[in-house]
Amino acid sequence: MNIYCAHPFTREYVGQSLADADPLEPENWLIPAHAYLDPPPAPAVGQAVVRSEDGAAWQLVADYRGTVYDTITGNPQQHEDLGDLPGNLTAEPRLSPFHVWASEGWVLDSDAQSLAERVAERAWRDSCLANTDYLAMPDYPLTDAARAEVIAYRQALRDWPEGGEFPLPEHRPEPPTWLAEKTQ
Protein backbone atom coordinates (compact mmCIF):
# COMPACT_ATOMS: atom_id res chain seq x y z
CA MET A 1 0.00 0.00 0.00
CA ASN A 2 1.35 3.45 -0.96
CA ILE A 3 1.67 6.08 1.74
CA TYR A 4 2.61 9.75 1.39
CA CYS A 5 4.90 11.21 4.04
CA ALA A 6 5.12 14.70 5.52
CA HIS A 7 7.95 16.28 7.51
CA PRO A 8 7.05 16.08 11.22
CA PHE A 9 7.76 19.79 11.89
CA THR A 10 7.15 21.68 8.65
CA ARG A 11 4.41 19.28 7.41
CA GLU A 12 5.94 19.55 3.92
CA TYR A 13 5.47 16.56 1.63
CA VAL A 14 8.74 14.60 1.59
CA GLY A 15 7.94 11.59 -0.55
CA GLN A 16 6.14 8.34 -1.12
CA SER A 17 6.75 5.01 0.62
CA LEU A 18 5.10 1.65 1.19
CA ALA A 19 3.15 0.71 4.30
CA ASP A 20 3.97 -2.55 6.06
CA ALA A 21 1.39 -5.20 6.75
CA ASP A 22 0.54 -5.61 10.43
CA PRO A 23 2.19 -8.92 11.53
CA LEU A 24 -0.57 -9.54 14.10
CA GLU A 25 -3.44 -8.67 11.77
CA PRO A 26 -2.24 -9.19 8.17
CA GLU A 27 -5.40 -7.64 6.73
CA ASN A 28 -4.40 -4.29 8.32
CA TRP A 29 -1.59 -1.93 7.36
CA LEU A 30 0.80 -0.10 9.62
CA ILE A 31 0.67 3.61 8.80
CA PRO A 32 3.43 5.55 10.59
CA ALA A 33 2.97 9.00 12.06
CA HIS A 34 3.00 11.82 9.49
CA ALA A 35 2.09 9.43 6.66
CA TYR A 36 -1.21 9.56 4.78
CA LEU A 37 -3.11 7.45 2.29
CA ASP A 38 -4.28 10.25 0.00
CA PRO A 39 -1.73 11.38 -2.62
CA PRO A 40 -0.68 15.04 -2.62
CA PRO A 41 -1.56 17.39 -5.48
CA ALA A 42 1.14 18.35 -7.96
CA PRO A 43 2.60 21.76 -7.05
CA ALA A 44 3.08 24.52 -9.60
CA VAL A 45 6.32 26.49 -9.84
CA GLY A 46 6.67 28.57 -6.69
CA GLN A 47 4.49 26.27 -4.60
CA ALA A 48 5.08 23.52 -2.06
CA VAL A 49 2.75 20.81 -0.76
CA VAL A 50 2.10 20.67 2.99
CA ARG A 51 -0.32 18.78 5.18
CA SER A 52 -2.90 20.91 6.95
CA GLU A 53 -2.37 21.50 10.68
CA ASP A 54 -5.25 19.15 11.53
CA GLY A 55 -3.80 16.49 9.18
CA ALA A 56 -7.03 16.30 7.17
CA ALA A 57 -5.76 17.30 3.71
CA TRP A 58 -2.83 18.34 1.55
CA GLN A 59 -2.51 22.05 0.78
CA LEU A 60 -0.56 24.07 -1.77
CA VAL A 61 1.34 27.00 -0.24
CA ALA A 62 3.63 29.64 -1.66
CA ASP A 63 7.32 28.65 -1.66
CA TYR A 64 9.75 31.57 -1.66
CA ARG A 65 12.63 29.71 -0.03
CA GLY A 66 15.98 30.92 -1.27
CA THR A 67 17.05 34.44 -2.18
CA VAL A 68 14.52 37.21 -1.60
CA TYR A 69 14.95 40.99 -1.40
CA ASP A 70 14.35 43.58 1.30
CA THR A 71 11.80 46.14 0.06
CA ILE A 72 13.54 49.03 1.82
CA THR A 73 17.20 48.41 0.95
CA GLY A 74 16.84 46.03 -1.99
CA ASN A 75 19.50 43.83 -0.38
CA PRO A 76 19.28 40.08 -1.02
CA GLN A 77 18.81 37.70 1.89
CA GLN A 78 18.03 34.04 2.40
CA HIS A 79 14.47 33.02 3.27
CA GLU A 80 13.73 29.56 4.66
CA ASP A 81 10.01 29.55 5.52
CA LEU A 82 7.11 28.23 3.48
CA GLY A 83 4.12 30.47 2.84
CA ASP A 84 3.67 34.06 1.77
CA LEU A 85 6.50 36.51 2.28
CA PRO A 86 6.32 39.10 5.06
CA GLY A 87 5.53 42.63 3.88
CA ASN A 88 9.18 43.73 3.99
CA LEU A 89 10.36 41.06 1.50
CA THR A 90 9.80 40.40 -2.19
CA ALA A 91 10.93 37.77 -4.67
CA GLU A 92 11.64 40.51 -7.25
CA PRO A 93 15.22 41.82 -7.32
CA ARG A 94 15.69 45.58 -7.18
CA LEU A 95 16.42 46.78 -10.70
CA SER A 96 18.70 49.68 -9.77
CA PRO A 97 19.63 51.81 -6.77
CA PHE A 98 17.04 54.29 -8.04
CA HIS A 99 14.10 51.91 -7.74
CA VAL A 100 11.86 52.11 -4.67
CA TRP A 101 9.26 49.66 -3.45
CA ALA A 102 5.60 50.54 -4.00
CA SER A 103 2.40 48.53 -3.85
CA GLU A 104 2.85 47.57 -7.52
CA GLY A 105 6.48 46.49 -7.07
CA TRP A 106 9.78 48.26 -7.77
CA VAL A 107 9.26 51.62 -9.48
CA LEU A 108 11.89 53.99 -10.78
CA ASP A 109 12.43 57.16 -8.75
CA SER A 110 13.39 59.27 -11.75
CA ASP A 111 14.04 62.34 -9.60
CA ALA A 112 16.64 60.47 -7.53
CA GLN A 113 18.19 59.02 -10.68
CA SER A 114 18.37 62.43 -12.34
CA LEU A 115 19.88 64.00 -9.23
CA ALA A 116 22.55 61.27 -9.01
CA GLU A 117 23.40 61.68 -12.70
CA ARG A 118 23.71 65.45 -12.25
CA VAL A 119 25.90 65.05 -9.16
CA ALA A 120 28.14 62.53 -10.95
CA GLU A 121 28.53 64.76 -13.99
CA ARG A 122 29.32 67.80 -11.86
CA ALA A 123 32.00 65.72 -10.10
CA TRP A 124 33.43 64.75 -13.51
CA ARG A 125 33.34 68.40 -14.62
CA ASP A 126 35.02 69.55 -11.38
CA SER A 127 37.79 66.96 -11.80
CA CYS A 128 38.40 68.16 -15.37
CA LEU A 129 38.70 71.73 -14.11
CA ALA A 130 41.05 70.68 -11.30
CA ASN A 131 43.17 68.64 -13.73
CA THR A 132 43.63 71.66 -15.98
CA ASP A 133 44.24 74.27 -13.26
CA TYR A 134 47.98 74.20 -13.88
CA LEU A 135 47.41 75.05 -17.55
CA ALA A 136 45.54 78.23 -16.59
CA MET A 137 48.47 79.61 -14.61
CA PRO A 138 49.97 82.65 -16.39
CA ASP A 139 53.51 81.34 -16.01
CA TYR A 140 52.78 77.90 -17.54
CA PRO A 141 54.55 77.71 -20.91
CA LEU A 142 51.80 77.56 -23.54
CA THR A 143 51.44 79.22 -26.91
CA ASP A 144 48.80 81.94 -27.15
CA ALA A 145 46.65 79.62 -29.30
CA ALA A 146 46.93 76.74 -26.80
CA ARG A 147 46.18 79.09 -23.89
CA ALA A 148 43.05 80.33 -25.72
CA GLU A 149 41.94 76.71 -26.26
CA VAL A 150 42.44 75.91 -22.56
CA ILE A 151 40.49 79.01 -21.51
CA ALA A 152 37.65 78.14 -23.94
CA TYR A 153 37.58 74.50 -22.76
CA ARG A 154 37.50 75.49 -19.09
CA GLN A 155 34.70 77.99 -19.78
CA ALA A 156 32.74 75.29 -21.64
CA LEU A 157 33.16 73.04 -18.58
CA ARG A 158 31.85 75.81 -16.30
CA ASP A 159 28.88 76.52 -18.60
CA TRP A 160 27.99 72.90 -19.26
CA PRO A 161 25.69 72.31 -16.22
CA GLU A 162 23.40 75.06 -17.51
CA GLY A 163 23.33 73.56 -21.02
CA GLY A 164 20.29 71.73 -22.34
CA GLU A 165 22.15 68.43 -22.78
CA PHE A 166 23.51 68.26 -19.21
CA PRO A 167 24.09 65.62 -17.71
CA LEU A 168 24.34 63.38 -20.78
CA PRO A 169 27.98 62.18 -20.99
CA GLU A 170 27.94 62.07 -24.78
CA HIS A 171 27.51 65.87 -24.78
CA ARG A 172 30.43 66.67 -22.49
CA PRO A 173 32.73 69.50 -23.58
CA GLU A 174 35.66 68.16 -25.55
CA PRO A 175 39.19 69.13 -24.51
CA PRO A 176 41.57 70.52 -27.14
CA THR A 177 43.03 67.69 -29.23
CA TRP A 178 46.55 68.22 -27.92
CA LEU A 179 45.31 68.07 -24.32
CA ALA A 180 43.24 64.93 -24.92
CA GLU A 181 46.30 63.20 -26.44
CA LYS A 182 48.44 64.31 -23.50
CA THR A 183 46.04 62.82 -20.91
CA GLN A 184 45.53 59.44 -22.61
DSSP, collapsed to helix, strand or coil, labels residue 167 as coil
At 22, the amino acid letter reads D
List the strands of the sheet with 89-90, edge to edge: 76-79, 66-70, 89-90
The domain limits of the chain are 2-62, 66-107, 111-183
**CA atoms of 93 and 75, how far apart (whole Å):** 8
Instruction: Render pLDDT for 24-82 as a digit per residue (tens, 0 to 9).
Output: 998 999 999 999 999 999 999 999 999 999 999 999 999 999 999 999 999 999 999 99
- Whole-prediction pTM: 0.72
* Max CA separation in the chain (angstroms): 112
Instruction: Render pLDDT for 117-162 as a digit per residue (tens, 0 to 9).
Output: 999 999 999 999 999 999 999 999 999 999 999 999 999 999 999 9
**CA atoms of 8 and 50, how far apart (whole Å):** 11
Contact (CB, 8 A) for 118 and 166? yes
At 136, the amino acid letter reads A
